[in-house]
Amino acid sequence: MTAVIDLRSDTVTRPGPAMREAMATAVVGDDVIGDDPTVKALEEAAAAAVGKESALFVPSGTMANLLALLTHCGRGDEAIVGSESHILHHEGVGAPALGGVSLRSVPNDERGHIETAEVTAAIRGGSPRTTVVCLENTQNRRGGAAIPVSEMRQIAEAAHAAGASLHVDGARIFNAAAALETDAKTLLADADTVSFCFSKGLGAPVGSVLTGSSDFIERARPTRRQLGGGMRQSGILAAAALYALEHHVERLSEDQANAKRLAEGLASIPGLVVDPDTVDTNMVFVRFDGIDGIAFTAALAERGVLASAPVPGSLRMVTHLDVNAAGIEEAIVQSASAAESLANA
């Protein structure tokens, strides 16, 4: 069998030789004491990349979002989240469990959009009190949809008018910026805090950041320690993240072109339902017509192509820097073979 083409997620990438070299030669210190120069350099570069004053390096996107909520909200306060948000579905109800924060959801439509009026109607000023509105961009469970700056701005204005802050879960914010042909700073201009991940499309092995004002980040710092997110010679990891930020942002448009091509190829296969027009970034969601999705995923895996199913009834393929255009063509060929084997079964 040929090498596995792993399209389960953009989190599966492995660091290449140059990234490993950057890790091996990183100057490190003890970041809990505050003297790891590589972590500091990463935090500065990360804050600058999204137009915020300050940043805090954390092990995961989940911790970055949790830290944001625990810093924006006191016990009994409320955070508004999208009905299809990662925070609501995939982060182990961390903020309610650990911080006594209530999560109130507003609907994400099929393309991930949230109506500003829904946010305004959901914000509460008494008890509970809404202290933060969270937006996700790109919208993972809605096909990796990119949410435009106009929508971000309107929702920010609604939040601010009611005295709440806007937090953006920007795990894949650079994919969104590439799709919208803008830069992350412009896209995030109205956000008070932003989390983003190095370990997804950017291709680092570990790590995310929470960014915001210097005051906010200094308030978040002791909470990171409480959560067990204080790391010591984490410059080794920060070096990989810094390499990713410097070398892997511009190339995200390649992944997105590959995702488009993948969607177009899959759309022509009988039994697979894909709309290439809904592919904004690096995710392709496939539904089925007359084929069992679980059997298809298994048949595809037997043919060396891995996909996952984070949303029931659909299969997801995510492009990333470890799969090139030739790999995408191979994935299309193998998908056709898998679908045909089931149609003839």
Ligand X SMILES: Cc1ncc(COP(=O)(O)O)c(C=O)c1O
What token pair was written down for 253?
Answer: 């448009």
Which of 78, 169, 280, 330 lies at the binding interface for ligand X (CB under 6 A)? Answer: 169
Q: How far is the CB of 227 from ligand X (least distance, A)?
A: 12
Report the residue from 60, 83, 213, 308 that binds ligand X according to the rule CB under 6 A: 60
When asked if residue 197 is in the footprint of ligand X (CB under 6 A), the reply is yes
Stretch that binds ligand X, among 61-69, 104-112, 160-168, 209-217 (CB under 6 A): 61-69
Nearer to ligand X, 60 or 337 (CB): 60
User: CB 53 → ligand X: shortest distance, Å?
Assistant: 22
The contact mask relative to ligand X for 206-225 (x = CB under 6 A, - = no) is --x-----------------
For ligand X, the closer CB: 64 or 336: 64
State in angstroms the smallest separation of the CB of 341 from ligand X: 31
Decide: is 281 part of the binding site for ligand X (CB under 6 A). Answer: no
Question: Which residue type sits at 279?
Answer: V
Compare residues 88 and 262 and give the one whose CB is closer to ligand X: 88
171 touches ligand X by CB under 6 A:
yes
The residue sitting closest to ligand X, measured at its beta carbon, is 61
User: What six digits make up the tokens of 17?
Assistant: 């030789």
Show the site string, 111-140: x = touches ligand X by CB under 6 A, - = not: -------------------------x---x
Contact call for residue 255 and ligand X (CB under 6 A): no
| Contact status: 62 vs ligand X (CB under 6 A) | yes
Measured from the CB atom, the residue of 197 and 338 that comes closer to ligand X is 197
Q: Using the minimum distance from each CB to ligand X, give the nearer residue, 199 or 335.
A: 199
What's phi and psi for 220, nearest 5 deg? -75, -25
- Which span (29-37, 56-64, 173-181, 245-253) binds ligand X, by CB under 6 A? 56-64
| Of the candidates 68, 65, 67, 101, the residue with the CA atom closest to the CA atom of residue 86 | 65
* Shortest CB 270 distance to ligand X, Å: 31
Q: How far is the CB of 69 from ligand X (least distance, A)?
A: 12
User: How far is residue 201's CA from residue 44's CA, in Å, rounded to a whole number?
Assistant: 20
Q: Which of residues 83-112 bind ligand X (CB under 6 A)?
A: 86
Q: How far is the CB of 192 from ligand X (least distance, A)?
A: 17
Binds ligand X (CB under 6 A): choice among 5, 55, 57, 61: 61
Nearest to 42 by CA among 53, 29, 55: 55
* Number of residues engaging ligand X in binding (CB under 6 A): 12
Question: Alpha-carbon distance 309 to 267, whole Å?
Answer: 18
155 binds ligand X (CB under 6 A): no
Tokens of 255: 């992944």
Pick the stretch among 28-36, 55-63, 118-126, 336-344 that binds ligand X (CB under 6 A): 55-63
Q: Using H for helix, E for strand and C for coil, what is the string for the chain? A: CCCCEECCCHHHCCCCHHHHHHHHCCCCCCCCCCCCHHHHHHHHHHHHHCCCCEEEEECCHHHHHHHHHHHHCCCCCEEEEECCCHHHHHCCCHHHHHHCCEEEEECCCCCCCCCHHHHHHHCCCCCCCEEEEEEECCEHHHCCECCCHHHHHHHHHHHHHCCCEEEEECCCHHHHHHHCCCCHHHHCCCCCEEEEECCCCCCCCCCEEEEECHHHHHHHHHHHHHCCCCCCCCHHHHHHHHHHHHHCCCCHHHHHHHHHHHHHHHHCCCCEECCHHHCCCCEEEEEECCCCHHHHHHHHHHCCEECECCCCCCEEEECCCCCCHHHHHHHHHHHHHHHHHHHCC
The least CB distance from residue 94 to ligand X, in Å, is 10
Chain residues in the site for ligand X (CB under 6 A): 60-62, 65, 86, 136, 140, 169, 171, 197, 199, 208
